[in-house]
Amino acid sequence: MSLSAMQAHVARDEVKTSLVVDILTQKFGERCSRSKAMCEQHGHTTTWLPNQAPDAVVFVESTEEAADVVRVCAEHKVPVIPFGTGSSLEGHVNAPGGGISLDLSNMNKILQVNAEDLDCRVEAGVTRKQLNSYLRDTGLFFPIDPGADASIGGMAATRASGTNAVRYGTMKDAVLGLTIVTPTGEIIHTGGRARKSAAGYDLTRMYVGSEGTLGVITELTIRLYGQPEAISGGVCPFPDIESACNAVIATIQCGVPVARIELLDTMQVKACNIYSKLDLEEKPTLFLEFHGSDAGVREQAEMFGSIAEDFGGGEFKWATQAEERTKLWTARHDAYWASFTLKPGSKGVATDVCVPISRLAECVTDSMTDLEEAGLLATIVGHVGDGNFHVLILVDEADEAEVAKAEGFVERLNWRAIELEGTCTGEHGVGQGKMKYLQREHGGGLDVMRSLKMALDPDNIMNPGKIVKVS
Amino acid sequence: MSLSAMQAHVARDEVKTSLVVDILTQKFGERCSRSKAMCEQHGHTTTWLPNQAPDAVVFVESTEEAADVVRVCAEHKVPVIPFGTGSSLEGHVNAPGGGISLDLSNMNKILQVNAEDLDCRVEAGVTRKQLNSYLRDTGLFFPIDPGADASIGGMAATRASGTNAVRYGTMKDAVLGLTIVTPTGEIIHTGGRARKSAAGYDLTRMYVGSEGTLGVITELTIRLYGQPEAISGGVCPFPDIESACNAVIATIQCGVPVARIELLDTMQVKACNIYSKLDLEEKPTLFLEFHGSDAGVREQAEMFGSIAEDFGGGEFKWATQAEERTKLWTARHDAYWASFTLKPGSKGVATDVCVPISRLAECVTDSMTDLEEAGLLATIVGHVGDGNFHVLILVDEADEAEVAKAEGFVERLNWRAIELEGTCTGEHGVGQGKMKYLQREHGGGLDVMRSLKMALDPDNIMNPGKIVKVS
């Protein structure tokens, strides 16, 4: 499959790698695994890109152990690939040059919750669902929700966000401080617990979204929020994509602090109706959620209702009961899996463009025309308050012509978004899959990124072959 | 005065500098000034640190011109110091190694306002008040408000914030994209107009807060907000600092989306009463502002009122009329100048620590005890929702013993904040004045900052002697 052409070549040295694996086996015993199944599972994710297995997987239990692994690898210039839960989508954990997969899933302790400061400190392997169950009785919650039950460390590494970024921001906003193992195996701390700081370069934001290519995130201090007093939500169908997008623009301009505002295209609604046993009208539909006081959420919903009416939307179906709401949002979260009901046995190719919200309707409708012309079947869901949407193309892997069509579509979509002053990735990250779009998106900025990478990881051992190519 | 000891030594080469000034005079004519008055005015700010004048000031009118200046300086390894309005407080625009002050104040065009996307593109010299007058009729506003009418470029360079950061964030959050002249005189663009992106290293956040040491910010794309439908506010006295801080913690935990929540200590209230002709009770006092719908601001104010009562605060005095509100907030903004009424002829030494909000009361009261023991007169204002507060020490410059006492206090305050998991600077930046605190605050992170600086500006021409010392 030609998608492997996206994968950067990374040199490997069998002798050194084998030596490093021996040293790590001696140090970590059974926690250093070279079993084929384990390595393959760690060389792949929910991505569409071909598997590239590491030579061994080491399960570390502390920052010091992670630093120890990196030091051994650094000494012999062998790649280190940090691994959380493996839910990334762009081949972030593939090991194109072999090396060591550094599995942080056992670093899953919640170290400190500071209710007064609305923050907490966690190890990188803590997952967002684990954290939220732990927080349930404190009245606090961690809002960032990328769908998958990803590790918080992995979410920071890929600058993840999801359905409620429109209100609560992305991992860029959620992280206050980090513990990092540098490419030489030093342990450093960035940021702190102060809400804001102007004390020098923003290293925290430099590591957030660096996808393990500048160091390993082992601990995080992150922001929490008070659980809203009231939550309400519902769904609202629109005659077309444009009206739905215009309603979203008006909603945000009016300052309605909507917590979630998600677009599902007609195909996606169809798929959700089948998969999640809903009976939604088969039209472009917004899923909404409001957080606030009782009076506040009522007011927000009323304001949205009247805006929706102006744009031909309706009827706005309320989900006042928690179960109804859970059913709807479970359906939204299962949208990915629901899509396959439209073409059983197919593989999904996910995309992730994000454009200024004023260009969203244009970008979505042009892409729908493009899909139709290419004869591809796809569903679309969008974090539409941010201008971010995902086309999931359903492809028969055995059909080479269809695969080629899908690849062509993905390319055109990414160029289209960049033309519209947007980005090829709103929240999935670059990994291997998006590297080829960065030159056009960043121009000379890509050289600055390369300088950063070369300054901080001159031997290119940290997750090589991702984000930027270095010689 | 021993404060000059804080200023890093930067080598200067008279011959090369003189050559560069000649070249720039030929290129820019009268827009390259070497007049003593002009140079001195550009080598100083509202800072307490001694003046260090550049050799010439060049007034550029475009990104290309800025790049041209940097290229000439780069060729001859002569320092370039970007200059906005000169309102920074930590010696950011001083020229310890001489060189060229790059004045961006004529780059004051508002290039584009995208109302649908709630963003705009401005040249770096546009000031925040200029932008807000321009926006008045659009229903939008730019919220970041550091007090001074700073340039937006300078505000980004120092990661500024101010009174409403508790609701709207800091310049870290406000900037979507930047045009940068790199230390070699290349022009690059970072970020874009998409609301979020995961496309590689976050160069935008790397340049925000870099204080001109990694490149020159010449244009910015920044986020705007809809003007709130309703604004209300008021003042509330408390029996002591601790009760006031606890009321703030509770307010934020309850999710009241307060737009401003500012603490003034008793001395500051006294000074404001005299200077701004108010008749506030002379107690620790919170100034508040609420933004939202009519019902929303009413609800917020009621929630705050009931919380304040729990902590012994009151009576909460409403300012429902716009004039009353303006009078109060003008007084708050004039607090700096008001302080001098307590000791006419004195000079103010400003501080800027920021701590986790749970440690704020402790940090403020310990500092008050320290002031008393040192026999220093000072006022305190705090952006208390963020845990950030400013002690303004009123010092007789001619009294060396008093100056020494003030210096000792500033040091202890900064160490205290760092001990409490905070920072020596919440929003003023490092400049020259805070460099010596960064080792303890960042530890090994400071080495990473140094690597960044050396990778991107190997000849150390960009605002040398600020943030990190490089050999």
B221 touches chain A (CB under 8 A): no
**Window 414-433 of B, Cβ < 8 Å to A:** 421-430
At B322, list the tokens: 């716009």
Judged by CB atoms closer than 8 Å, whether chains meet at A159 and B202 is answered as yes
Give residue B201's pLDDT.
Answer: 98
Q: Measure the N-to-C terminal CA separation of chain A; round to a whole number of Å.
A: 25
Phi first, then psi: give them for residue A290, nearest 5 degrees: -120, 135
Side by side, the strands of the sheet bearing A32-33 are A32-33, A56-59, A100-103, A80-83
**Exposed / middle / buried, residue B352 (Cβ in 10 Å: 0-12, 13-18, 19+):** buried
- Chain A residues with CB-CB distance to B434 below 8 A: 199
CA dist B132 and B141 (Å) reads 6
- Of the partner residues B115, B158, B443, the one whose CB lies closest to the CB of residue A188: B443
Judged by CB atoms closer than 8 Å, whether chains meet at A467 and B355 is answered as no
- Chain A residues with CB-CB distance to B441 below 8 A: 192, 199
- Chain B residues with CB-CB distance to A390 below 8 A: none
User: What is the bridge-based pairing of β-strands B175-181 and B100-103?
Assistant: unpaired
Per the CB < 8 A criterion, the answer to whether B67 and B50 are in contact is no
CA dist A70 and A120 (Å) reads 26
Give residue B10's pLDDT.
Answer: 86
Q: Write down how long chain A is.
A: 471
CA dist A201 and B215 (Å) reads 13
Phi first, then psi: give them for residue A57, nearest 5 degrees: -120, 130
Q: Cα-Cα-Cα-Cα dihedral of A234, A240, A243, A246, to 10°?
A: 90
Per the CB < 8 A criterion, the answer to whether B298 and B256 are in contact is no
**Window 250-279 of A, Cβ < 8 Å to B:** 252-255, 257
DSSP string, A280-342: --SS-EEEEEEEE-HHHHHHHHHHHHHHHHHTT----EEE-SHHHHHHHHHHHHTHHHHHGGG
Which residue in chain A is spatially nearest to B189 when comparing CA positions? A445
Q: At what angle do helices A360-374 and A400-419 cross, to 10 degrees?
A: 160
Give residue B48's pLDDT.
Answer: 75
- Chain A residues with CB-CB distance to B184 below 8 A: none
Question: DSSP secondary-structure letter at A148?
Answer: S
The CATH label, of 1.20.120.1200, 3.40.50.970, 3.30.43.10, 3.40.50.720, for the domain at B2-105 is: 3.30.43.10
Give residue A44's pLDDT.
Answer: 77
A322 touches chain B (CB under 8 A): no
Per the CB < 8 A criterion, the answer to whether A104 and A83 are in contact is yes
Question: DSSP secondary-structure letter at A128?
Answer: H
CA dist A282 and A266 (Å) reads 5
Longest CA span, chain A: 69
- Chain B residues with CB-CB distance to A452 below 8 A: 201, 206, 452, 455-456
A445's enclosing H/E stretch is helix A445-456
Which residue in chain A is spatially nearest to B245 when comparing CA positions? A116
At B26, list the tokens: 């030929």
Judged by CB atoms closer than 8 Å, whether chains meet at B114 and A424 is answered as no
At A450, list the tokens: 């390369």
Specify the amino acid at residue B373.
E
- Chain A residues with CB-CB distance to B251 below 8 A: none
Judged by CB atoms closer than 8 Å, whether chains meet at B209 and A201 is answered as yes
- Which CATH topology does A14-106 take? 3.30.43
Which residue in chain A is spatially nearest to B140 when comparing CA positions? A253
Per the CB < 8 A criterion, the answer to whether A249 and A387 are in contact is no
B8 touches chain A (CB under 8 A): no
Q: How far is CA A249 from CA A166, A385, A418, B84, B115, in A?
A: 12, 7, 20, 34, 10
Residue to substitute from B117, B171, B196, B252, interface A, most A β-carbons within 10 A: B196
Q: How far is CA A213 from CA A106, A421, A455, B204, in A?
A: 21, 26, 12, 18
Judged by CB atoms closer than 8 Å, whether chains meet at A226 and B182 is answered as no
Cis peptide before B40 (omega within 30 of 0): no
Judged by CB atoms closer than 8 Å, whether chains meet at A197 and B446 is answered as no
**Window 134-153 of B, Cβ < 8 Å to A:** 139
Longest CA span, chain B: 69
Residue to substitute from A166, A195, A446, interface B, most B β-carbons within 10 A: A195
What residues does CATH 3.30.70.3450 cover in chain A? 230-334
**pLDDT-flagged residues of chain A (< 70):** 1-6, 47
**What 3-state class would DSSP assign to A459?**
coil
- Residue B35's CB is within 10 A of a number of other CB atoms, namely 10
B155's enclosing H/E stretch is helix B152-157
Phi first, then psi: give them for residue A20, nearest 5 degrees: -60, -40
Side by side, the strands of the sheet bearing B110-114 are B110-114, B119-123, B216-223, B175-181, B187-191
Q: Which of B281, B259, B273, B225 lies closest to B383, judged by CA?
A: B259
A439 touches chain B (CB under 8 A): no
A110-226 CATH: 3.30.465.10
Give residue B401's pLDDT.
Answer: 96
DSSP string, B176-222: EEEEEE-TTS-EEEEE-SSS---SSS-HHHHHTTSTTSS-EEEEEEE
CA dist A386 and A303 (Å) reads 19
Residues with Cβ within 8 Å of A299's Cβ and at least 6 positions away in sequence, in order, are: B293, B295, B296
Judged by CB atoms closer than 8 Å, whether chains meet at B209 and A187 is answered as no
**Residue with the two structure tokens 């030594």:** B9
Q: Cα-Cα-Cα-Cα dihedral of B443, B448, B450, B454, to 10°?
A: 170
- Of the partner residues A198, A357, A426, the one whose CB lies closest to the CB of residue B428: A198
B242 touches chain A (CB under 8 A): no
Give residue B71's pLDDT.
Answer: 98
**Window 333-352 of A, Cβ < 8 Å to B:** 352
* Letter string b/e over residues A114-123, b meaning 16 or more CB atoms within 10 A of that residue's CB: bbbbbbbbbb
Judged by CB atoms closer than 8 Å, whether chains meet at A199 and B115 is answered as no
| Residue A222 β-bridge partners | A120, A175
Residues with Cβ within 8 Å of A86's Cβ and at least 6 positions away in sequence, in order, are: A41, A42, A44, A45, A46, A93
- Residue B21's CB is within 10 A of a number of other CB atoms, namely 21
Give residue A1's pLDDT.
Answer: 40
CA dist B427 and B413 (Å) reads 16
Give residue B3's pLDDT.
Answer: 53
- Chain B residues with CB-CB distance to A252 below 8 A: 118
- pLDDT tens series, chain B, 471 aa: 455 556 778 888 999 999 999 999 999 999 999 999 999 999 977 767 889 999 999 999 999 999 999 999 999 999 999 999 999 989 999 999 999 999 999 999 999 999 999 999 999 999 999 999 999 999 999 999 999 999 999 999 999 999 999 999 999 999 999 999 999 999 999 999 999 999 999 999 999 999 999 999 999 999 999 999 999 999 999 999 999 999 999 999 888 999 999 999 999 999 999 999 999 999 999 999 999 999 999 999 999 999 999 999 988 888 878 888 888 999 998 999 999 999 999 999 999 999 999 999 999 999 999 999 999 999 999 999 999 999 999 999 999 999 999 999 999 999 999 999 999 999 999 999 999 999 999 999 999 999 999 999 999 999 999 999 997
- Chain B residues with CB-CB distance to A424 below 8 A: 199
What residues does CATH 3.30.70.2740 cover in chain A? 343-440
A230-334 CATH: 3.30.70.3450
At B241, list the tokens: 């600092």
The CATH label, of 2.60.40.3880, 3.30.70.2740, 3.10.270.10, 3.40.50.1010, for the domain at A343-440 is: 3.30.70.2740
What residues does CATH 3.30.465.10 cover in chain A? 110-226
| Residue B113 β-bridge partners | B120
At A89, list the tokens: 């989508």
Note the helical H segments in A158-221.
Answer: 165-168, 171-174, 203-207
Radius of gyration of chain B (CA): 22
Which residue in chain A is spatially nearest to B468 when comparing CA positions? A200
Q: Which of B389, B390, B391 lies closest to B360, judged by CA?
A: B389
Question: Chain A closest CA to B274's CA: distance in Å?
Answer: 32
- Chain A residues with CB-CB distance to B190 below 8 A: 442, 445
Which residue in chain B is spatially nearest to A173 when comparing CA positions? B173
- Chain A residues with CB-CB distance to B192 below 8 A: 421-423, 441
A23 touches chain B (CB under 8 A): no
Q: How far is CA B19 from CA A11, A142, B78, B92, B186, in A?
A: 48, 57, 10, 25, 22
Q: How far is CA B20 from CA B36, B39, B70, B71, in A?
A: 17, 15, 10, 10
* Letter string b/e over residues B320-350, b meaning 16 or more CB atoms within 10 A of that residue's CB: eeeeebeebbebbbebbebbbebbeebebbb
Give residue A8's pLDDT.
Answer: 72
- Of the partner residues A254, A386, A443, the one whose CB lies closest to the CB of residue B189: A443
